[in-house]
Structure formats: structure tokens, C-alpha cells
Amino acid sequence: MSGNGLTEIRWHGRGGQGAKTAALLLADVAFKNDYYVQGFPEYGPERMGAPITAYNRISRREIHVHSNIYHPDYVAVVDEGLLDTVDVTAGLSEDGAIIINTAKTPDEIRPKLGGYKGKVFTIDAKKVSVECLGKNFPNSPMLSAVVKVSDIMPFDEFLAEMENSYAHKFSSKPEVIEGNMNALKMAYEEVKE
Amino acid sequence: MARKDRLSGNEAVAEALRQINPDVMAAFPITPSTEIPQYFSKYVAQGKVDSEFIPVESEHSAMSAVIGSQAAGARSVTATSSAGMALMWEELYLAASNRLPCCLTLVNRALSGPININCDHSDSMGARDAGWIQIYAENNQEVYDNLCMAYPIAEHKDVQLPIMICQDGFITSHAVENIILNEDEEVKNFVGEYNPEHCLLDPECPTAVGPYSVTNYYFEAKRAQAEALKNAKQVTLDVAKEYAKITGREYGLFEEYMMEDAEYAVVIIGSAAGTTKEAVDRLRKEGVKAGLIKIRLFRPFPGEEIAEALKNVKAVALMDRTESYNDCCGPLGAEVSTALYRANAKALAVNYVYGLGGRDVKVSDMVNIYNELQKIAEEGKVEEFYRYYGVRS
């Protein structure tokens, strides 16, 4: 969190991967931890697979700004293929960090980051998701990694709020709650710096 | 007891509508307002409201159905954006001239072409002379509060006019932010029952709605309509005062931010006002006397009050999120310039077109505008009154 009590996060993903949902979920849990929040997507001619951007502002003070985020503290990349086509580190604070969904290590992925000098974290969200949920839903593991790296809130409080949201969201299929919770916990352990 | 929540602008509108529980909603979906009828029709299906939901086949029909039901004596609402509003064009005038206090929750979106789904104010600004009351919001809290106040303003016996509650497409409609909600009972009591003086379903007092008006009467009808819109200004203030009693949130005709000793002012509408506040805060730290006026009520236009608020500034930027295609000024530029001229104001004014089709407005953009105002004040003249900000040459 920067000096003025504001954390700004930019999400890069592809339409259908849940980057927008992850941003909205993060806003949700931060709200429940008494933060002022914003969670919003940047809309264009959206379609499955097209690059999309979503944003979070999380602050202890009321938020008035309604622009996109150009100087984020953290960047989350849900699809590593975007590293070849999107300037994901544009404006990213060197005191902040980038979190990338990939099977590679931070050292292996850093050459693709255009000389970014800040911290690089990787998480194999696909592996975590497939192991815990049987399918590739990268957004829950990515969310967990972002919460860990940004240290926005204590992880146990994050888990407790997520369990509440899942209980609400999956009230008609409670069997998937455990898998999602496991994905959050496993992702927390699997983040590499 | 107020409830703390986090909602998008569209969710906030749907929540206010659930609490208002209007008799009829007729709507046809269009981005970015689609979620409003989507959420509301769910409330209807779940029995959370008593409303009749009419899924019409076009926006022309949506506003026609709203006019019909409102004339029958039912409190009615619709939601739309951009081309949807354009298709309502004739009906907008009918709702106003027939003095039907229905409500349109508008999510501002650019009008074609080229086709674009993002925010500017070209849709509602095009309809600024249709005879509707227009109220704009900076964020989800304001659009929620404005909607809670909409019917008490529109239905007031001195007004009886339709009301447009506007918010910025995507920028607020799809952004989740903190919000404080009223209790259902508070909204229900505040809005009250709709008891029209005249309605079609009153067998004791048969009435005609929308008959032909011969030349001998038309002008008087329009003059009476203008008087009703004029009355909406005081009623908007009175309703806001009552609303503040239950919520603690105060609203005027416009918001003044750091205007008390301001030398350089921006007059702006919608979500960019919040971004401008941040620019004002930064400039104030550097000792620049920057201030902001955020328009809430655009129709009727509070010209005298705005001229009074601007009387001590050296330079002012009038920000229009629409192009008027007149090579002269935008809608806000025209209204404020007229007001300043009438008040013999000394402020040097400049009119910017900005943010069309969702072009993002950053804090640094607004700082640039204030820097330009300082330059204008220093030079003591405005070379080019009508100009553009943020467009590539």
C-alpha cells in the first residue's frame, strides 16, 4: 500500500477467464474488511478470448477518481500469452509487483517483462485449479496470490470472507465450495518469488 | 438505519427501484443500461415488488407503454441508453407535454456514429429541450439518492413533469463502489403513494390525454409546461432538504467544491467531477486556488445561482461531454456563458469538449485544464472559446 493509503491494481486477462470477476471479488472482500473500494472492467468490443483489463482501487479514504489506472501498485496477469502482445508492466510501480499465472519461475518469465525492475511473482493457477476443482478456472488462485503479494488484508480474514461469498454464490451446489477454498489455500502456498 | 453495501451504479438503480416499488416498468434492453431491467424483472419474478413488468419490443414502445400507464394513474419507469433514447424521441416530448411524471433511468452512452457503447452525454444532452427534468450523478451513491428523490420532485403538484435520472455508462454503471442504502420503509415513506390529480382510470372525472391542440391554445399549453419546469428548481431543493433529514446526505442544484476562495473553476457534469476533485486537492496543496462546480440539476438550469457561485473567479472552464455541431459552444458552455453574461461576470470563460465515446479522463487531464485557466487569467484573454481536450490531431 502506497503512502496515501491507496492500493491500485490492474488485471490483464482474456474474455471469459474471470479477470473481471476476480476484480469484483477482491472489491467485495476488501469492502467487508471496511475498505473503500472500486472494482471495474474496461469495456471494449468484448468477446471470448480477447484481451481485457479490469481494475481495483482499495483505500482507507473515500475514493473520488473515476479514471482507469495508469500507475498501478500491482499488476495481475491471468493469461501468460498476453505478455507477448500487451505491455502489462506499463506504468507499474517498481516498488510494487507483478503476479503472473504461469508454470514458469519468476527468473524464467522476467525476460518477457520489458526490463521491469520490481518484484515478479508467479503462480501456476491452472495446476492449482485443475488439482482442486478438476477444471481450469484460474481466477480464484490468482485472487489468492494477489491478496498474498499485496498484503491488503490478513490471509485468514480473506479466507473467512471468501468462504462466506462462496456459501452465498454456490448455495445451490455446495459441493464446489470445498474445492474453491482448497484452491485459495493451495495458491497461497504455491506463489513463487 | 442505513445499510453499508457495495454496488455498481446499475445495481444501485435496481435497488432504489425495488424500494420505490413502482406500478409499472416497461423496458427494452440496451448496453450499458441492460442490467437495470434485468435485475428489476428478477425482483418482479421473485415477488419482491408488486410492479407490472412489460417486456416491449423496442424503446419506442417502452416509452409509449410508460406514457399509457402513467396517464392511467400508475407510477411508471423505464431505463435506456443512447440509441434507445433516440428511438423514444417523439415519446419524450409526449410525456413532458402531457405532464406525466414518469421516470427514465438513463445510463449515458455515446450516440452513433461511429457506433460506440461507452460514455458521453450526447444522448441526454440531445434531449435537453424535450421538457424533462434532468439530474446527473457523479457516482453510484448519487444516482441512488437521485432516484429516491425522483418521484417526489416529478409528481409535485407544481411540477408534474417526467424526470431523467442520469449516470455515466460503464464508468459508474459497471463500477462496484461503496454505497449507503436507506431502509425499505424509509424509501417507501419518502416516496409515498401516487395520487394523481387527473388520470384516465378515474370514472368520476373523465379526461382526455394528448388531444389535438389548435393554434389558439397550443402556445398557452407550452407556456404552462415551461412554468412547471421552472417550478422544478425550488421543488428539487425542497425535496433534497426532506431527504437530508432521513439520510444526512445533502444535495443542492449543484455541488461547490473548494469554491469559497477559488480563482480558477471547472464546471463539469457526471463521473469526471470526482476525478476533478482529486485534481483540485493536488493543486490546492501547491497553493493554486482551484475550485469545482458539479452540475446536478441540468434541466431546469440554475443559471443565476451558478453565475453567483462563479462571481469571484478569474477564469472558468465549462466542460461538455458532447459535441453540439454548431461551431459555437456545447450545451453546458451555452447555458453558463449566458448566465455569466446576464450577471455581468468578469470571469474569462472557455468551453471544452472532452471525453467523447468513453475517452478516459485522468487527474492529470484536469490538472492541465486548471493550468490552462491560470494561463488565460494571466494573459487576460481567451483566444479560442470553443475547444477540444484529449483528441488526437
**Which tens digit of pLDDT belongs to each residue from B214-264?**
999 999 999 999 999 999 999 999 999 999 999 999 999 999 999 999 999
Nearest to B275 among A43, A62, A67 (CB): A67
Size of interface A-B (CB pairs under 8 A): 61
Checking if the pLDDT of A2 tops 50, the result is no
- Locate the DSSP E strands across A43-114: 51-59, 74-77, 97-101
Run of H or E residues at A27? helix A19-32
* A4 band by pLDDT with thresholds 50, 70 and 90: low
Decide if B92 contacts B42 (C-beta within 8 A).
no
Distance from C-alpha of B355 to C-alpha of B373, rounded to nearest angstrom: 19
A28 chain-B contacts, CB cut-off 8 A: 6, 176
Mutate to test the interface with B, among A20, A35, A67, A68 (most CBs of B within 10 A): A67
Taking the C-alpha atoms of residue B135 and residue B254, their distance in angstroms, rounded to an integer, is: 10
A159 touches chain B (CB under 8 A): no
B288-314: average pLDDT: 98
Measured in angstroms, the CA of B316 and the nearest CA of chain A are apart by 21
- Select from B176, B272, B278 the Cβ nearest to the Cβ of A39: B176
Q: Pick from B6, B138, B360: which is nearest to A28 by CB?
A: B6
For each of the domains in chain A, give its residue range(s) and CATH number, in order of start.
6-190 (3.40.920.10)
Decide if pLDDT at A5 tops 50.
yes
Residues B299, B304, B307: CA angle, nearest 5 degrees: 110
Instruction: Reply yes or no on whether the pLDDT at B18 is more than 90.
Output: yes
pLDDT higher than threshold 70 for residue B193 = yes
Chain B residue whose CA is closest to A66 = B275
Q: What is the mean pLDDT of residues B318-346?
A: 97
The predicted structure's pLDDT at residue B257: 98
Q: Is A43 on the interface with B (CB under 8 A)?
A: yes
Confidence of residue A175 (pLDDT cuts 50, 70, 90): confident
Q: What is the pLDDT of residue A45?
A: 67
ipTM of the complex: 0.94
Give A64 to chain B, closest Cα distance, Å. Answer: 4
| Average pLDDT of the residues in B104-112 | 97
pTM above 0.90, yes or no: yes
- Flag whether residue A31 sits within 8 Å of chain B, measured between CB atoms: yes
Going by the DSSP 8-state scheme, the letter that residue B183 receives in this structure is: P
* pLDDT for residue A170: 81
Confidence bin at A46 (pLDDT 50/70/90): low
Query: Is residue A43's pLDDT more than 80?
Result: no
For B254, the grid coordinates are: 449543484
pLDDT band of A89, cuts 50, 70, 90: very high
Q: What is d(CA A27, CA A31) in angstroms, rounded to the nearest whole number? A: 6
Which residue type occupies B51?
S
The answer to whether the CB atoms of A43 and B170 lie below 8 A apart is yes
Contact flag A67-B6 (C-beta cutoff 8 Å):
no
Question: Which of A27, A65, A68 faces B176 most closely, judged by CB atoms?
Answer: A27
B58 touches chain A (CB under 8 A): no
Residue B316 has pLDDT above 60, yes or no: yes
Instruction: Report chain A residues whose CB lies below 8 A from the CB of B178.
Output: 31, 36-37, 62
Domains and CATH numbers, chain B: 3-247 (3.40.50.970), 254-388 (3.40.50.920)
Lowest mean pLDDT, pick from A177-181, B264-268, B292-296: A177-181
Provide the pLDDT for residue A141.
93
> Which three cell numbers, joined as nine digits, stand for A25?
471479488
Query: Order of strands, edge to edge, in the sheet holding B290-295?
Result: B254-257, B290-295, B264-269, B315-320, B348-353, B386-388
What pLDDT does residue B146 have?
Answer: 98
Distance from CA of B189 to the nearest CA of A (A): 29
Does residue A173 or residue A151 have the better pLDDT?
A151
Where is pLDDT greater, at B18 or A18?
B18
Which residue in B has a C-alpha nearest to residue A65's C-alpha?
A: B275
Give the closest-approach CA distance of A81 to chain B in angstroms: 26
Interface test with B, best of A20, A33, A66 (most B CBs within 10 A): A66
- Cα(B59)–Cα(B172) distance, integer angstroms: 23
- Chain A residues inside the 8 Å CB shell of B363: 65, 67
Element (H, E) at B123: helix B122-126
- Our CA-based measurement puts residue A70 at a distance from the nearest CA of chain B, in whole angstroms, of 9
> Taking 50 as the threshold, does the pLDDT of residue A1 lie above it?
no
CB B365 within 8 A of CB B390: yes
